[in-house]
Amino acid sequence: MGNITFVEHDGTEHAVEIEPGKSLMDLALDNGIPGIDADCGGECACGTCHVIVEGNGVSITGSASDAELQMLDLTPERADSSRLACQIVISDAMDGMIARLPEFQM
Ligand code: FES
């Protein structure tokens, strides 16, 4: 096992135990992480689960799909390692990953 750390815009950190097979969005919601709205429920259709991946997650989470990239284009705080949390499936290899939350979702 291991942990993924969500970091709010103000720097507040939340370390959450990895649950392989679950989406990063569901992990955040199930653990009460503030700042993930997930308005579409994980359908890659709202962009309100935007996270900026750091640490070992940048390479491990893989590439965003075309549909995800189109949604990310609409997010106000997009960064090079931006992802939609609903499109990331957690694995044990993500131990130590950092997911920064933008100040605002769409
Ligand atoms: S929850 Fe809507 S795009 Fe991720």
> What's the pTM?
0.96
The domain covering 3-100 belongs, at the CATH homologous superfamily level, to Beta-grasp domain (3.10.20.30)
Question: Would you say the CB of residue 74 lies under 6 angstroms from ligand 1?
Answer: no
The phi and psi torsions of 13 (rounded to 5 degrees) equal: -105, 145
What are the boundaries of each domain within the chain? Answer: 3-100
C-alpha 38 – ligand 1 centre gap (Å):
5
Atom of ligand 1 nearest to the CA of 47: 3
Among 99, 97, 88, smallest CA distance to 2 is for: 97
pLDDT tens string for the chain (106 positions)?
799 999 999 999 999 999 999 999 999 999 999 999 999 999 999 999 999 999 888 899 989 999 999 999 999 899 999 999 999 999 999 999 999 999 999 8
